Amino acid sequence: MVSVLPAFFQGRWKSMEWEFRCTDRYFYLTPKPDGQTNKRNQGKRRRSQSGSIRQQKGLSDRNQLKHELELYRAEDWIVDQFSRIVSELAEARLFSAGFYNSQGRGWKKMRKKAQTTPFELPQPHSTVPDLDRLSELVEAVRNGDRNVLPELQAMVSNYPDIGSNYRDLGIKCQMIWARMAETEVYMRKRLLARVRDLKFRLKAEGYGSELEDLLIDLVAMTWLQSHHFKLRVLSDRASTIKIEEHRMRRLKGIIKQHLKAYDLLATVRTKLQLK
């Protein structure tokens, strides 16, 4: 039996639907898409009020966390694309040179030499390779399949300047996170100046290859991401503990990606010594 709310609920809980039994036990009614209703026992008398407050607080926390996740959805998609492409290009060069990284324990020289039989690519030679096929080959070698190495080596040798097609994407990712980190133009210029100094120092230590430049852009991008989330954690107080935990997890993950980009850059320079 659906009834009018008691006096202490009137005015504050008009949007809720209630059912009470035995005059003191209340149930919160939630409509379902099929027309039926879910019931949740909210306790007796004043306990029902505190139970409804907890329920509304939990719903509000979930909505705020969802909004926090939506803030970076578009930026994360672009960044993930660039990060994936650069990592796969670096690993493809290392695999083609006869190195492997078993279970992420460090790059080592393969004991058995990779097969050097010439491989003819099925598609006609063009300036843009099949990146989907490149991803499949890299993933296969990661899982221990060395039979695809000749095709991977052919793709790497036929497209030596593949990285030049993605420099603009790397610059775009850096500008996105610079705007996210600093809204004022003056502070953003100072931040970009720090990024330029970082990239200049890293380039001065290398051989000036296209792959190195892409990895340096990846290092700069992850540094900007970590800078943004450090500012967010320190200056923007989270409204709920879940949002605070999410930001800390996100910051730890970005720092891990930043160190991984540094490690991959050092590995490419040490193992390949590209000119």
Q: What is the mean pLDDT of the segment spanning 229-245?
A: 78
Amino acid 42: pLDDT: 56
pLDDT at site 120? 57
pLDDT digits 0-9 by tens, 241-251: 877 788 888 88
Q: Do the bridges between strand 37-44 and strand 25-31 make them parallel or antiparallel, or are there none, so unpaired?
A: antiparallel
- Per-residue pLDDT of 189-218, as tens digits, reads 999 999 999 999 999 988 888 899 999 999
Residues 209, 167 contacting (CB under 8 angstroms): no
- SS3 per residue for the chain: CECCCCHHHCCCCCCCEEEEECCCEEEEEEECCCCCEEEEEEEECHHHHHHHHHHHHHHHHHHHHHHHHHCCHHHHHHHHHHHHHHHHHHHHHHHHCCEECHHHCCCEECCCCCCCCCCCCCCCCCCCCCHHHHHHHHHHHHCCCHHHHHHHHHHHHHCCCHHHHHHHHHHHHHHHHHHHHCCCHHHHHHHHHHHHHHHHHHHHCCCCCHHHHHHHHHHHHHHHHHHHHHHHHHHCCCCCHHHHHHHHHHHHHHHHHHHHHHHHHHHHHHHCCCC
Q: What is the mean pLDDT of the chain?
A: 77
Return the pLDDT at 237: 72
pLDDT in tens, 155-168: 888 877 777 778 88
pTM: 0.73
User: Given this model, what pLDDT does residue 214 score?
Assistant: 93
How far is 208 from 38, CA to CA, in rounded Å?
A: 65
pLDDT of res. 56: 66
Task: Work out the burial of residue 229: count CB atoms within 10 Å of its CB; fewer than 13 is exposed, 13-18 middle, 19 or more buried.
Answer: buried
Tokens of 164: 């030049």
The pLDDT assigned to 158 comes to 81
| Cβ pair 29, 17 in contact under 8 A | yes
As a whole number, mean pLDDT of residues 51-73 equals 70
Residue 230 or 13, more confident = 230
CA nearest to 219, candidates 189, 191, 199, 197: 199
